[in-house]
């Protein structure tokens, strides 16, 4: 871990652990008041799909692990069991805001965990922040976070600027070796797509890439065959798409059917799901994904352990991007609470001052946004499906495999 335990901390942890070990188990449990952690997340409605794939499983994994260790270590109080107070926000912004007020004002929880999706987090963050609570948001991607003025809010995923920088760096390297220069851009017409497209356009132009097509489609799209035909007609060598889980497969299906096979194909959200591999099998080989790539093969402390624990508990793989970061955000809270207790202001200071690592990777906040990427000169990670599974291919210091270039023909 980037944050090393000093001697004093070690003694404290050890003392807490010994005290717990010496007491009869049930007695210790009965004595320790539980730490109550609250969240409201989409269990029904359109956002339930994403929330239940990427986010909530990690909450339960972490809680069970902590409780199996005898509870959450709170500075000055020893271990206290973790208890969740949670609600369903029904994928509705208004309901979510209301429930967070309830969690903080009525249920008086000790800590809150974030809801799912940019729209809901945007509404909840200022409210939670005003009530003095720290919120570590993972599934939020927009540079407009700063407009919220939510000073107790932290965003973890690489934001559009660092994602697009890594794509363009990778493409520049590819061009040096292969000479491919013709780029087609495709994005979904919502905040996520528009911000990424707005960020990548000047970068590509500055590097003098030729942009042969630049299209968008609505979030409710049900078919992309006409889009693929139009793209195909422009003969791009490189395709970069800023898509969502539901439309990525539409795109790939039509590319296969119409035998549209750009040399480099870079996709976004959803291409990192194990389900994507299940659906398309070996046809996924060579597809690059630009969203915060992660695999258990990364030489990052805790990556392999996290993967094994997740598989053991849920019988499936976590997604190869944000899932491990959700888990890491909980570990960060755990670490902060062990160091400074449950006071929100001190947790906030702690999160701002320290650098964290594992199982997802380095996290260091700068004005509330994780800048470990650009901050220390490391861009967002790109991943690629290969016969050996999902591999990180960029930047080189993280790479778990050499990239497969060009993308193989469709089977």
Stretch 109-128: interaction string toward another protein, x if CB under 8 A: ---------xx--xx-xxx-
The nearer residue to another protein, 26 or 220, going by C-beta atoms, is 220
- Cβ-based nearer residue to another protein, 18 or 205: 205
From the list 385, 247, 359, the residue with the least C-alpha distance to 306 is 359
Is 213 a binding residue for another protein by CB under 8 A? The answer is no
**63 binds another protein, rule: CB under 8 A:** no
- Edge-to-edge, what's the strand order for the sheet holding 210-217? 210-217, 182-188, 238-242, 264-267, 288-289, 382-386, 389-394
Phi/psi of residue 112, nearest 5 degrees: -120, 150
Single out the residue of 6, 147, 176, 409 in contact with another protein (rule: CB under 8 A).
147
Q: Does the protein bind another protein through residue 85 (CB under 8 A)? A: no
The DSSP letter of residue 244 is -
Shortest gap between Cβ of 99 and another protein (angstroms)? 9
| Residue 112 C-beta: closest distance to another protein, Å | 15
Establish if 132 lies at the interface with another protein (CB under 8 A). no
Q: Would you count residue 151 as binding another protein (CB under 8 A)? A: no
Least distance to another protein, CB of residue 3, Å? 32
Q: Please give the biggest Cα pair distance in the chain.
A: 73
* Residues from 326 through 355 that contact another protein (CB under 8 A): none
DSSP code string of 116-176: SSHHHHHHHHHHHHHTT--EEE-S---GGGGGG--TTEEE-SPPHHHHHHHHHHHHHHHHH
Among 65, 77, 190, 339, the residue binding another protein under the rule CB under 8 A is 190
- 116-122 LR contacts (CB < 8 Å, sep 24+): 116/41, 116/42, 116/47, 116/50, 116/51, 116/54, 116/55, 117/42, 117/47, 117/50, 117/51, 118/142, 118/191, 118/192, 119/93, 119/191, 120/42, 120/47, 120/89, 120/91, 120/93, 120/96, 122/148
- Shortest separation between residue 85's beta carbon and another protein, angstroms: 11
Contact residue for another protein among 14, 25, 69, 149 (CB under 8 A)? 149
Is 220 among the residues that bind another protein (CB under 8 A)? Answer: yes
Instruction: Write 170-179 long-range contacts (CB < 8 A, 24+).
Output: 170/288, 170/382, 170/393, 170/394, 171/204, 171/207, 171/209, 171/238, 171/264, 172/207, 174/238, 174/264, 174/405, 175/209, 177/405, 178/263, 178/405, 178/406
Least separation in angstroms between CB 203 and another protein: 16
Q: In this complex, which beta carbon is closest to another protein, that of residue 13 or of residue 194?
A: 194
- Asked if 67 is part of the footprint of another protein (rule: CB under 8 A), the reply reads no
At closest approach, how far in Å is the CB of 26 from another protein?
A: 29
Task: State the minimum distance, in angstroms, from the CB of residue 253 to another protein.
Answer: 7
Residue 94 binds another protein, judged by CB under 8 A: yes
Residue 101: CB minimum distance to another protein, A:
5
- Residue 129 as a binder of another protein (CB under 8 A): the answer is no
Least Cα distance to 62 among 37, 34, 89 occurs for 37
Q: Is 256 in the site for another protein (CB under 8 A)?
A: yes
Please name the residue that has the structure tokens 């000479």: 179
Per CB under 8 A, 254 contacts another protein: yes
- Binding residue count for another protein, defined by CB under 8 A: 73
Binding flag, residue 388, another protein (CB under 8 A)? no
Token representation of residue 91: 């994928």
Task: Return the range that interacts with another protein (CB under 8 A); candidates 27-35, 84-92, 320-328, 338-346.
Answer: 84-92
**Closest to another protein by CB, 77 or 190:** 190
Q: Could you count the other beta carbons within 10 Å of the beta carbon of residue 132?
A: 12
25 to 44, contacts with another protein by CB under 8 A?
43-44
Q: Does 283 bind another protein (CB under 8 A)?
A: yes
Q: Which of 5, 17, 148, 404 binds another protein (CB under 8 A)?
A: 148
| 189 near another protein (CB under 8 A) | yes
Does 229 participate in binding another protein (rule CB under 8 A)? yes
Nearest to 329 by CA among 292, 381, 382: 292
Q: How many angstroms separate the CA atoms of 83 and 85, rounded?
A: 7
Enumerate residues 155-174 that contact another protein by CB under 8 A. none
């Amino acid at each position: 871990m980037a944050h090393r335990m000093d001697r004093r901390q070690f003694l404290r942890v050890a003392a807490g652990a010994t005290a717990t070990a010496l007491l009869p188990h049930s007695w210790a449990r009965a004595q320790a008041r539980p730490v109550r952690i609250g969240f409201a997340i989409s269990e029904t409605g359109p956002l339930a799909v994403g929330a239940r794939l990427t986010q909530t499983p990690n909450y339960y994994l972490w809680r069970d692990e902590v409780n199996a260790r005898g509870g959450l270590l709170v500075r000055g109080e020893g271990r206290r069991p973790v208890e969740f107070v949670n609600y369903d926000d029904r994928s509705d912004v208004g309901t979510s805001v209301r429930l967070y007020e309830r969690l903080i004002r009525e249920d008086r929880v000790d800590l809150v965990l974030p809801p799912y999706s940019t729209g809901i987090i945007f509404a909840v963050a200022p409210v939670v922040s005003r009530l003095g609570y720290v919120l570590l948001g993972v599934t939020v991607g927009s540079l407009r976070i700063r407009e919220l003025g939510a000073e107790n809010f932290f965003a973890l995923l690489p934001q559009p600027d660092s994602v697009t920088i890594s794509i363009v760096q990778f493409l520049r390297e590819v061009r040096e070796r292969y000479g491919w220069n013709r780029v087609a851009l495709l994005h979904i017409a919502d905040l996520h797509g528009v911000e990424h497209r707005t960020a990548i356009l000047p970068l590509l132009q500055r590097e003098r890439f030729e942009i042969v097509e630049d299209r968008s489609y609505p979030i409710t799209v049900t078919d992309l065959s006409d889009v693929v035909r139009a793209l195909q007609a422009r003969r791009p060598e490189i395709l970069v798409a800023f898509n969502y889980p539901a439309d990525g497969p539409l795109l790939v299906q039509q590319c296969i059917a119409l035998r549209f096979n750009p040399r480099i194909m870079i996709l976004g959200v959803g291409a990192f799901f194990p389900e994507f591999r299940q659906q398309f099998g070996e046809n996924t080989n060579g597809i690059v994904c630009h969203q915060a790539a992660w695999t258990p093969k990364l030489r990052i402390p805790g990556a392999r352990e996290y993967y094994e624990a997740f598989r053991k508990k849920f019988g499936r793989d976590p997604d190869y991007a944000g899932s491990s970061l959700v888990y890491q955000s909980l570990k960060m809270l755990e670490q902060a609470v062990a160091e400074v207790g449950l006071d929100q202001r001190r947790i906030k200071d702690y999160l701002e001052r320290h650098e964290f690592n594992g199982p997802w990777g380095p996290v260091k906040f700068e004005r509330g946004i994780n800048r470990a990427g650009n901050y220390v000169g490391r861009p967002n990670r790109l991943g690629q499906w290969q016969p050996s599974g999902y591999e990180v291919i960029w930047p080189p210091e993280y790479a778990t495999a050499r990239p497969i270039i060009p993308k193989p023909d469709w089977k």
